[in-house]
Structure 1
C-alpha cells in the first residue's frame, strides 16, 4: 500500500473513531483541541485535520472562533451521504428520529414499489421474489434476518429504476436496522412482516402499480402502529 492509500485509510479510521465518540456522547458539545485529539488517536495533526474536515463537510461539526469545534445536532447532519446515514443509525434512536425515518419510508417506498410494478425488468422482479423467499425462510432471532430484510427492500428501489430512489436505499436500510429490533419483539410480528411483504411482491409481479403502492404503504403503516408506544413518548425538553 502506497503512502497516499495509507493516509486515506488512517483518515477513515480516525473519522470512524471520532463518530463513535460523538454518538456515545464521549466529548460533550465541544470536541477537544486538535492536539489533544491527535494524541488520543496517535496520528499526525495533518491526518486529524483531514478527518475533521471530512466531518465538517458533512455538516456534523461547526468551527467557531474562541469556542472551538462544536458538535452539531444530529438533525443537522447531511443524511444524503451513506457514511453519515450509517453513523447516524449507530446512535440510540429517539422517538422523533423513529418518526422521521418512518415518514421518510412512507414517501419513498410506496412510490418505488409502484414504479417497480410499472417498469421493473423481469430480472429485477425475479431478484425481488428471490429476496422475499430468502427473508421468509429466516426467523428474526436467526443469523441473516436483518440482512435478508434489507436486501428485499433494496431490491424494490432497484426495480423502480429511479436513480434517486437508489441513492436513498442506505437510509431505508438504516431505518430497518432501527425499527426491526423493536417491532420483532412483539408477538406475531414475523408472520405479519412476511404477509405484508408478500402482498407487495405479488402486486409488483402482477404489474399492478396502484396495488403495489397501497401494499407498501400498508406495510409501513403497520410498522408505525407497532412502534406506537415508542412514537408516543414525549419529545425531550430542550433548554
Structure 2
C-alpha cells in the first residue's frame, strides 16, 4: 500500500512537470520519446507511461504512428476535469481564451445568482454574506484577496443548488485568477468590485432572483470592459445580456 501511494504521488509529480513544460512551450508540438522523458524526470518508464496515459485521457495528447506523442491544442483539452482546468489557466492568457472565459461566466454566474436567491438555504446565503464580508476588507495585492474573491463566487454557485453548476466552479475560480490581475490594476477597481459584489449578495438576501441576475451580470460587465481595454484590437469580448 505504501509503495502504491508512493507510485501515485510520483505519477502526479511527473504529470505536473509535463504540464508545466507544455504550457511553457518547452517541448514544441511533439513530446520527446518516453525513454528521453524518463531520464529527464529520473523515473521508470512505467511511471512515465502512466503519467502520459493520464494526459491522454484528458485529451491533452495524441499518439500517432511514426510521428510520436503530439501535444493537442489547449482548446481540445477536457476542461470539465478540474486538474485540466487548473493546468489550462497556468498558460499565459490570450484574447480568444479570455473571451471564451467571459462567455462562460455570462452563461453560468447570473443564473446561479438568481437560483441562489430563489432556492438557496439560509445557511447557503449566510455563507455568501460571510464570504463577502471577508472579501470587502482585503485590497488587491494583499494576502488572501484572490482566495476571498474565489470563495465568494464559489459559494454563490453552491447556493444555486445546481449540481452541474457546482462542477463548473473550478472554471470560475480559474477565470477569476486570470482576469483579476488585469481588472484590479485599474484605478478605482477595488471600490467598484466591492460595490458590485455587495449588490449581488444583497439581492440574494432579499430573495430577488431578477435583481440578483442583473447584479451578477453588471459585475461581469465591469470585468469585460477592463479586459476589452487591455486587449484593444483583439477579438472582442462579448457584451452581456440585459
Q: TM-score by structure 2 length? A: 0.95
> Conserved in 1, the CA contact under 8 Å of 2:150 and 2:176?
yes
> Conserved in 2, the CA contact under 8 Å of 1:95 and 1:232?
no
2:3 is matched with 3
The offset of 1:233, in angstroms, is 3.8
The offset of 1:83, in angstroms, is 0.2
- 1:233–1:37 CA distance, 2 compared to 1 (3 A): farther
The offset of 1:231, in angstroms, is 4.1
> Conserved in 2, the CA contact under 8 Å of 1:118 and 1:207?
yes
Q: How many residues align?
A: 235
The offset of 1:229, in angstroms, is 2.3
Note the residue ranges of structure 2 that are not aligned, 5 or more in a row.
236-242
> Conserved in 2, the CA contact under 8 Å of 1:59 and 1:72?
yes
Distance in 1 of aligned mates of 2:151 and 2:76: 28
The offset of 1:141, in angstroms, is 1.8
Measured against aligned partners, the alpha-carbon deviations of 1:129-152 in whole angstroms (never above 9, x if no partner) come to: 000010001000210000000000
The offset of 1:179, in angstroms, is 0.4
1:46 corresponds to 2:46: yes
2:137 is matched with 137
2:16 is matched with 16
Equivalent residue of 2:177, what SS? helix
2:214 is matched with 214
The offset of 1:230, in angstroms, is 3.3
When the two chains are superposed, the root-mean-square deviation of aligned CA atoms in Å is 0.9
Equivalent residue of 1:62, what SS? strand
2:112 is matched with 112
Distance in 2 of aligned mates of 1:212 and 1:92: 32
Distance in 1 of aligned mates of 2:183 and 2:233: 16
Note the residue ranges of structure 1 that are not aligned, 5 or more in a row.
none
Measured against aligned partners, the alpha-carbon deviations of 1:100-141 in whole angstroms (never above 9, x if no partner) come to: 101100000000000000000000000100000100010002
> Conserved in 2, the CA contact under 8 Å of 1:116 and 1:159?
yes
1:204 is matched with 204
Measured against aligned partners, the alpha-carbon deviations of 1:163-191 in whole angstroms (never above 9, x if no partner) come to: 10000000000000000001101000000
> Conserved in 1, the CA contact under 8 Å of 2:182 and 2:230?
no
